[in-house]
């Protein structure tokens, strides 16, 4: 039988790639599960387009293309924050998942400016989609995601970080704002 802990210590980068591939496989399966009913029941995917772009053109073209700028900024922030966690902060993939107890308090990279750069990056990408699609439905989705991030994930993570790091985290909270 293979000892996973020995493999993780001996090949940490390989394990990151393997875990990333598993995430990709699971995301692919999940996306197929979401799309399957449209193919099984022969429903047009135009319905999804109509739902996520209703009502259309609240922000007229070409002004809605400003949203395209938010998407790569959000992606960059998420990538930079993950790099800071995984490589600079030496936090493993499991420890960086929501609601886990991290081994280190990371205060470098984007964490110098915001305590939640991954969530902020995701919200910026969604904001970009809201502007590009200029849709009220997508705006409601953005608000829902914000509420879940703010009142479920962040609230619980801050409790865990205070328990784990105490005064060190409270000082970090005083210096760095939640969002920016």
Residues 26 and 108 in one domain: no
Residues 130 and 59 in one domain: yes
Domain that holds residue 154: 55-175
Residues 107 and 68 in one domain: yes
Measured in whole angstroms, the distance separating CA 125 from the mean position of its chain's CA atoms is 9
**Is residue 64 one of the residues assigned to a domain?**
yes
Q: Tell me which residue has tokens 């390989």.
A: 14
**Is residue 122 one of the residues assigned to a domain?**
yes
Residues 85 and 145 in one domain: yes
Residues 124 and 171 in one domain: yes
Residues 59 and 146 in one domain: yes
**Is residue 50 one of the residues assigned to a domain?**
no
Residues 87 and 163 in one domain: yes
Residues 80 and 112 in one domain: yes
Residues 39 and 61 in one domain: no
CA-based nearest residue to 82, from 121, 25, 26, 129? 121
Q: Tell me which residue has tokens 């809201």.
A: 130
Residues 157 and 96 in one domain: yes
**Is residue 180 one of the residues assigned to a domain?**
no
CA-based nearest residue to 129, from 85, 69, 173? 69
**Is residue 79 one of the residues assigned to a domain?**
yes
- Reading the chain (180 residues) residue by residue, the pLDDT tens digits are 556 566 666 666 666 677 667 777 887 787 777 777 777 777 776 776 776 666 666 776 777 788 889 999 999 999 898 888 877 766 665 655 666 777 778 888 899 999 999 999 999 999 998 888 877 888 888 999 999 999 988 999 899 889 888 999 999 999 999 887
**Is residue 162 one of the residues assigned to a domain?**
yes
pTM of the predicted protein model: 0.71
Residues 105 and 138 in one domain: yes
Torsion region of 134: left, alpha or beta (phi above 0 gives left; psi -120 to 50 gives alpha): left
Domain count, the chain: 2
**Is residue 69 one of the residues assigned to a domain?**
yes
């Amino acid at each position: 039988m293979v000892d996973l802990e020995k493999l993780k210590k001996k090949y940490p980068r390989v394990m990151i790639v393997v875990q990333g591939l598993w995430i990709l496989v699971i995301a692919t399966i999940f996306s197929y599960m979401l799309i399957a009913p449209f193919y099984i029941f022969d429903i047009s995917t135009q319905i999804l387009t109509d739902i996520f772009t209703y009502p259309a053109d609240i922000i007229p073209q070409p002004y809605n293309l400003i949203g395209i700028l938010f998407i790569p900024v959000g992606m960059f922030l998420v990538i930079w924050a993950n790099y800071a966690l995984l490589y600079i902060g030496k936090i493993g993939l499991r420890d960086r998942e929501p609601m886990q107890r991290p081994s280190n308090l990371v205060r470098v990279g984007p964490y110098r400016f915001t305590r939640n750069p991954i969530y902020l990056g995701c919200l910026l990408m969604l904001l970009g989609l809201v502007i590009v699609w200029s849709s009220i439905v997508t705006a409601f989705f953005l608000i829902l995601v914000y509420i879940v991030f703010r009142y479920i994930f962040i609230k619980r993570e801050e409790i865990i970080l205070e328990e784990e790091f105490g005064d060190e985290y409270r000082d970090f909270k005083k210096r760095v704002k939640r969002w920016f």
